[in-house]
Amino acid sequence: MQSSDEHLMKAVARGDSRAFSELLSRHSRSVLNICYRIVQDRAEAEDLCQEVFESLWQQASSWQANAKLQTWLYRVASNAALNHRQRVQARQQLGVDEDVFENPGQDTFCETEQVSMSAEEPAYTALQFELGMLPENQRMALYFRYYQDLASRDIAEILGVSLKAVESLLARGRNLLKQQLAKTASVEPPVANKPPAASKPSVADKPPVADKKEPNR
């Protein structure tokens, strides 16, 4: 029987590394995908995913049993990714070289191939592209509802907004996404150049008809 998140967190609070590995295996894919959706960079998403689980390990001893681990992880991942993106944008505006802030050679336990959405993969369809073009809160609300199957109350807790605000974000996000997809569908793809049709043979190309000889009488 699979142990619950609550049971595993109690074990992690006692320093049980196997329980931590089980939680990592259970939730790292979703956490990594959330980070990737916000920062749109695989390496950065890996680093952020690792930070989230490091925080989980460090805060396990003060964990409240009435808290929902999945909601906590998603909230921490979203906040960490948003803060990171703001820092990156600020550095870019100041013209600071990003390499100065990189930490090469650091081991990571969030694997790159776990990211499920990227432009290089076949699953990156028009739907995912248009979803990525939505305003941040609308995109995340739709992602948590339809990709993670979360209830509106959980989404509200993750995003730090009211339940009414979540319903508004979902409605506006769906409408905008529908409009964008309709525009995409209305654009006809370019017609591929067809090979020239084979020309019909002209009369001159036909072989001459042999003269018929009349039989000797």
The average pLDDT across 142-171 equals 92
Q: Pick the more confident residue, 149 or 121.
A: 149
* Confidence class for position 165, pLDDT limits 50, 70, 90: very high
What is the pLDDT, as a whole number, of residue 108? 55
Report the share of the chain in percent with pLDDT over 90: 42
Domain 1-117 shares a fold with domain 125-187: no
Q: Pick the more confident residue, 216 or 20.
A: 20
- Across the chain, what does the average pLDDT equal? 77
Distances (CA, A) of 197 to 8, 157, 204: 69, 63, 19
- Judged on CB neighbours under 10 Å (0-12, 13-18, 19+), 160 is exposed
* Confidence class for position 125, pLDDT limits 50, 70, 90: low
Domain residues of the chain, as ranges?
1-117, 125-187
Query: pLDDT for 85-111, tens place per residue?
Result: 888 777 666 654 444 344 444 455 675
- Cα(122)–Cα(77) distance, rounded to whole angstroms? 26
Per-residue pLDDT at 209 exceeds 90: no
Pick from 111, 121, 132: which is nearest to 40 by CA?
132
Q: Pick the more confident residue, 145 or 91.
A: 145
Q: Which CATH architecture has domain 125-187?
A: Orthogonal Bundle (1.10)
CATH number of the domain at 1-117, please? 1.10.1740.10
